[in-house]
Structure 1
């Protein structure tokens, strides 16, 4: 895919006075600076009855209350062939109920949308929930600036975890300097300066800080509280300067006129940074917990300032672990005490400055711009992979319905308080063969897949049980995962196979990105890092592929882990080398023979190619998968997975039997990945055809699943189905079903179980 050429940001823009305008302008300038060959402009929202002298970077403006202007803007963006649009969303800046006018624009766009949410409400009204839900649905990526926002999007709005990215609020890359020079420049030499800046409004808690000043002055008589910022324009329109005057009256009543300074200014960035630079303590005494983003907090933290703040969501995350001081809402006594402590303890104040500055280096606008560019590229890739296939493609759209309901009764019966059993006798769990990390890693993958919208999540206890099995499987002495465990909970080996290790890394990577529990995501991320290094020495192509699948998710949550990025390319290059060494016109594969989970190899290459923008990986994955499908499709057109009887044979056509569910599931996932990579709707038809193998479209015309319990037979022998329904089989079926159900949400006709040869299970 060609590089990004044109990007538009929709949001408020300077000189409009508000935080969204500042953020939009800063983001536009940061991307423009780091990518000078990229054209990036702003489509500015103009509030009712106002007019602004916009700079040249604003290509178009929209009057917020005029719905025709939203339509005009969509036409402008489509005609301009912009590669992506980045929407800055905040309730209150778009017209219509709950800002619904913006939907008129989004519904008409012909390019991917990446939406930054500056507010995520925990308790939205029904209309707010509906509008934000439609915005998220129309967006290829949704960006929030705090982990709490990600959590609320998943739990309140059911936004898929893999659509959400957390990118910190950008900050200027300002040097770490002492406040003395700036104090002298601004006329505050010899004073202990406490600063608040931003647009004045009653929710900022300025009156609480004013009430704290008498107590602060008892311990630090030279203290001065500087309140920098104009009154919010909306407040001025409604009541003039009544709020500011009430604050000044409060100052006089407390007798602290010489120690509180109001500067009624909306300053440019250079002036703002000078004011922040001069303060000894920055304070945000906001009154409302539901503050998802604070640019004032981010800027002050980024300049290495000790911050005292109430525990609103953004502050609670940014100032954790001693990077700042949190105080209760509306508590003037505690605010006074904590600020006085900092102003009278120079070593502690300096140590807090150093911690804040060091922690903020990943937040500079340069780094933030790169994170956004990565999100733009990813969204653009994903968007074009979902477009309707080109008319010259031979394969038709899938027509037969193929998405049964998700039933997990049998899966639950195969679990005990240790984990998922390996085998079953018919549908009865077989305790004699115990457990393995392979199947419990697959179960953890299923738990992640069931976090998708429209699915019923597994219970917290059950998901935690699979995670606990994986944790217990880790052998710190060998730096490998054990695989097999007896029913007596005794491990049968010190180290499992390379493939089981790779599959467990895959599950950990997915868990680190898509698990519903923030704590478990952090656990998975940490264990993934510890277990990744051994994979570099593996010789199994499947272990490489499984690890690559895990790296895709892990690298999305830890984009700064350069070692992981290196391992990703290293393993992908090893797969490429294998293909180059073995490839002939009639054998387009990575090895001399076909074995199990074959389709995971091209899937891993395509996924890695898309994530790293490496076309060679994508092309190799597509070419090898096309060849594999010629080996797995019968003359009658139904799917025939590579039979286990032929494992180990060199360059031979696959044996017909025994056929196993694992192969169908891997092939479904690989075909859907090919659809996303190539944009050819024929791949969706193939994936649907492969899923039909479970439902009776196979060599024996026998259905393998019980649609009422979700059980799945272990495979097909030459003359019959295997009546046992073990752990690997049920999880394979449910994972394949989860993929097909996600496809059904793109193709609404795919909603009911197929009737194809639906013989009784």
Structure 2
């Protein structure tokens, strides 16, 4: 690479093990480094992890050595990377190669870096220990992007670790570019001519299931007496340190007891790449009889599959995906009979074996290391682009003392302008109230929610204004139909006998909040009474948002009125409905309640989060968190900004959301939902998502246009593809003020807080 090429190339530092250290991570890191270097688009070095008490003659590609138990080495490595002008760090993560509890010392390095980190997770645990979970959560938080090698890894990151979908990339394990060859020449070269060869290779350890394969040999020999099982690989260094070669010797003894010692060959060696490829080329069947499904990736499987081998494997995660659709054969864990039958079938059916080989070879071409390097470079460049939006430097418990976000003061001037003695007027022409459209209970209910939120802060809405919104809601109640009316003309005529289901639910939400937090005891009693009167009507509703709004009202109402049987029955009913809806619609790629996205989307997961947290229902809480993570992911632009679901999306079925028009209502819902998640979990990552959504109001959006006037407290009605909507209606101003009140409340929080204390912030 010329000096000009080096200046243009992406400078990449890979952190992981490196050859000549003997392990799969060392092989992977070395292969990835070589592929990146060969691409001509990357200038790559390795920072090699060295295990305790060992020394290695590292090649020139290793720029720095980190001793796994030396915290000073981790800090020094961060300094080296920050001084070195690197564009991105590629971390190869595996439990067991870093120092500290659960490998936590690596976070001391990552937290000091000034460039983005792309972490490849070689293992994703479905049931981590507490320490493993804490460390991996921290690594995830410090990483710009995450790479896994199987779809199962993506699924676990989303469901177990709450990672947004757009932060995850699936890049299969790389393979060498090798011709589709007949096994005979390699057999002759390695001394196995006239034998039928079954191969397993890799570091020898008890979890590899070699015993199962040895037990299967007698049945295989009945069909193919010329068969030989070659076990290629040195014993794992950690196992050698603990017990020497006792495990290998026990396998050899097992073969002798079964009378197959002449058909089981152990090659105790860690071979170079060329020799390894010769061994794979000579085998007729490759077998991975691993004993545990929790194997996210297997380099040995990827290499054999990529060379077009017929593979028999147990159904661990990687194998289940790679060998699907006839690309290999899967057998049950620990079942020597099924393993022997499957191998015997392939060894005695040449056409079937050849067809399987060709399917494997043709489907693996995209996995060649050259293609893998291109995919990694795409991820690296995406991480670099997003790195301009630095993570905030949290200096208080709420995570809001960031130089990136200054909260405006609360200004109520425009809200007053939009109100008269009836209530809040719906629309405006620019900043002038538009009397033509009159009023609606929806906006006055939102205004009452703002009053409740302001009552918890330093700036309160006047008694006159609060009473005006309450009076509008009271007047909207139609006792004959047991529904709230919604639209009223400017001359005070109701335009309907009953409003929409959603407006009814939103009004219940405002009443529930007022019943718990209105400063007037008399108005709290009024709100509680009307809430219970209007609640049963919801039973016949079919709108998920009406259910969610009602649940959000039930949350404060039940906290203020514990043991109310009517309220508790409806809370159970509506939460169960949302859970059923999610269960019916959700797929691996669509973690949502419906086939499409509409308005006020985040209120659906918020309702389950609040309800599950209050009732101690882990299922409801996790469902809400899972769907909110998915929503947050699809509402993040490639540049890392908040991009709410645009109104052009409404009516689309299971498609990514369209960008415009963007409306304040969606930002407000997302902020509230993320703060509900923070109160439930105490995870500060949710406060960052709330901050990102609030920054949308201030100009961190697709058009870089501020939507709010901090002096008057007005808010534009949204973003079109080419401009802001200059009208500043009632819905927009109350949406902005509600979000500002919640964010200022969060900013006042300080010190570590327990979950009960976090919940108390709502009161």
Shorter-normalised TM range: 0.5 to 0.7
1:280-325 deviation per Cα after TM superposition (whole angstroms, max 9, x unaligned) = 1100111222222110011111112111111222212222222211
Q: Is 1:260 matched with 2:269? A: no
Are 1:106 and 1:138, in contact at CA under 8 Å, matched by a contact in 2?
Answer: yes
2:388 is paired with a residue of what secondary structure? helix
Match of 2:15? 10
Cα offset for 1:19? Answer: 0.3
Distance 1:691 1:170, change over 3 A: farther
Aligned to 1:167: 171
Separation in 2, partners of 1:19, 1:152 = 22
SS of 1:375's equivalent in the other structure is helix
* Residue 85 (structure 1) aligned with residue 128 (structure 2): no
Deviation at 1:467, TM superposition (A): 6.5
Shift of 1:158: 3.2
- Structure 1 residue 463 corresponds to structure 2 residue 472: no
State whether residues 4 and 83 of structure 1, in contact with CA within 8 Å, keep that contact through their aligned partners in structure 2. no
- The secondary structure found in structure 1 opposite 2:370 is helix
Which of 636, 641, 653 pairs up with 2:711? 636
Output the CA distance in 1 between the equivalents of 2:151 and 2:745.
28
- Residue pairs, 1:375-390, within 5 angstroms: 375-387=379-391
Alpha-carbon contact 1:192-1:279 (below 8 Å) kept: yes
Aligned match for 1:60, one of 61, 64, 67: 64
SS of equivalent to 1:82: coil
Structure 2 partner of 1:22: 27
Distance in 2 separating the partners of 1:94 and 1:201: 20
**Correspondence for 2:131:** 127
Query: Are residues 119 and 352 of structure 1, via their aligned partners in 2, closer, same or farther at CA, if it must alter by over 3 Å?
Result: same
Structure with max Cα Rg:
2
Report how many residues are paired.
545
Give 1:103's aligned residue.
Answer: 107
Q: Give the distance between the partners of 1:457 and 1:15, measured in 2 at CA.
A: 56
State the alpha-carbon separation in 1 of the partners of residues 308 and 332 from structure 2.
23
**1:114 positional shift:** 1.4
Contact 2:228 2:265 in 1 (8 A): yes
Alignment correspondent of 2:703: 625
Once the two structures are TM-superposed, the CA of residue 85 in structure 1 deviates from its matched residue by: 0.9
In structure 2, the residue matched to 1:287 is 291
2:332 maps to 1:328: yes
Task: Please list the CA deviations of residues 56-98 of structure 1 after superposition, one character each: whole Å capped at 9, or x if unmatched.
Answer: 1100001112221111111111111211111111111112222
- Structure 1 runs of 4+ aligned residues shifted over 6 Å read 393-396, 399-405, 428-431, 433-437, 544-549, 621-624, 650-653, 739-749, 751-755
Q: Is the 8 A contact 1:641 1:660 kept in 2?
A: no
For 1:358 and 1:96, locate their aligned partners in 2 and report how far apart those are by CA, in whole Å. Answer: 43
Q: Given the alignment, which residue of 381, 384, 398 partners 2:407?
A: 398
- Structure 2 equivalent of residue 236 of structure 1: 240
* Whole-angstrom distance in 1 between the partners of 2:655 and 2:240: 53
Question: Residues of 2 paired with 1:248 and 1:359: CA distance?
Answer: 36
* Alignment map for 1:447-526 (pairs within 5 Å): 460-464=579-583
Kindly provide the CA deviation profile for residues 363-386 of structure 1, in whole angstroms up to 9, marking residues without a partner as x. 221222222222222222223212
1:296 corresponds to which of 284, 294, 300: 300
Residue 660 in 1 paired to residue 664 in 2? no
Q: Report the equivalent of 2:319.
A: 315
Task: Tell me, in whole angstroms, the C-alpha distance in 1 between the residues paired with 2:228 and 2:126.
Answer: 36
1:388, 1:331 → 2: CA distance? 52
Q: Which moved more, 1:25-34 or 1:114-123?
A: 114-123
* Contact 1:4 1:377 (C-alpha < 8 Å) held by counterparts: no
Question: How far, CA to CA, are the matches of 2:20 and 2:68 in structure 1?
Answer: 16
CA distance in 1, matches of 2:702, 2:165: 30
The answer to whether 1:371 aligns with 2:449 is no
1:513 aligned residue? none
Find the aligned partners of 1:83 and 1:694 in 2 and give their Cα distance. Answer: 40
Q: CA deviation at 1:197?
A: 0.5
Write out aligned runs for 1:330-729 (5 A). 330-387=334-391, 397-398=406-407, 424=504, 426-427=507-508, 460-464=579-583, 543=648, 551=656, 597=663, 625-626=703-704, 629=706, 632-634=707-709, 636-642=711-717, 654-657=726-729, 659-661=730-732, 692-694=736-738
Cα gap change, 1:226 to 1:179, in 2 (>3 Å): same
1:33 aligns with 2:38: yes
- For the Cα contact (< 8 Å) 2:9–2:42, is it kept in 1? yes
The answer as to 2:201 corresponding to 1:197 is yes
In structure 2, the CA distance between the partners of 1:641 and 1:368, relative to structure 1 (3 Å rule), is same
Gap change, CA 1:240 and 1:460, over 3 Å in 2: same
Structure 2 counterpart SS, 1:692: helix
- 2:468 corresponds to: none
Question: Contact 1:503–1:543 (CA<8 Å) still a contact in 2?
Answer: no
Gapped regions of structure 1 (runs ≥ 5): 406-412, 415-419, 447-455, 472-480, 484-498, 508-515, 529-540, 553-570, 576-594, 601-620, 665-689, 698-736
Please report the TM-score for the alignment, with normalisation by the length of structure 1: 0.61
Q: Any unmatched runs of 5+ in structure 2? A: 1-6, 394-401, 411-449, 455-482, 485-499, 509-533, 553-574, 605-621, 635-645, 667-698
CA distance in 2, matches of 1:360, 1:286: 22
Look up the match of 1:209.
213
SS in 2 for 1:351: helix
Normalising by structure 2, we get a TM-score of 0.60
| Deviation at residue 178 of structure 1 after TM alignment | 2.3
Q: Give the whole-Å Cα distance in 2 for the aligned partners of 1:744 and 1:7.
A: 40
Alpha-carbon shift at residue 119 of structure 1 (Å):
1.5
**Could you say if the C-alpha distance between residues 71 and 695 of structure 1 is closer, same or farther in structure 2, counting changes exceeding 3 Å?**
closer
3-state SS of paired residue (1:354): helix
Distance in 1 between residues matched to 2:716 and 2:759, nearest whole Å? 21
Deviation at 1:7, TM superposition (A): 0.9
1:547-587 CA-to-partner distances (Å, cap 9, x unmatched) read 999558xxxxxxxxxxxxxxxxxx99xx9xxxxxxxxxxxx
Q: Which position in structure 1 is the counterpart of 2:557? A: none
1:742 and 1:20 map into 2 onto residues whose CA distance is 43
Q: Confirm or deny: 8 A CA contact 1:422 1:435 kept in the other structure.
A: no
RMSD over aligned Cα atoms? 5.2
Shift of residue 350, structure 1, vs aligned partner = 1.5
SS of the residue 1:625 aligns to:
coil
Partner of 2:462: none
The answer to whether the 8 Å contact 1:404/1:753 transfers is no
Is the Cα contact below 8 Å between 2:664 and 2:736 reproduced in 1? Answer: no
Q: Distance in 1 between matches of 2:703 and 2:183?
A: 62
CA gap 1:190/1:66 in 2 versus in 1, 3 angstroms: same
Q: 2:23·2:203 contact (CA, 8 Å) conserved in 1?
A: yes
Report if the CA contact (8 A) 2:175-2:306 is conserved. yes
8 Å CA contact 1:143, 1:164 repeated in 2: yes
What's 2:189 paired with?
A: 185
1:587-625 deviation per Cα after TM superposition (whole angstroms, max 9, x unaligned) = xxxxxxxx885999xxxxxxxxxxxxxxxxxxxx98983
**Contact 1:170 / 1:363 at 8 angstroms: preserved in 2?**
yes
**Counterparts of 1:753 and 1:636, CA distance in 2:** 31
**Residue 176 of structure 1: which of 174, 180, 188 is its match?**
180
CA contact (8 A) 2:663 2:717 kept: no
Cα deviation digits, residues 477-513 of structure 1 (max 9, x gap): xxxx999xxxxxxxxxxxxxxx98x999xx9xxxxxx
CA distance in 2, matches of 1:696, 1:741: 8
SS at match of 1:6: strand
1:234-293 Cα distance to aligned partner (Å, 9 max, x none): 222222222222222222222223322211221121221121111111001112222221
Partner deviation per Cα, 1:343-366 (whole Å, 9 max, x = no partner): 011121122112222222222212
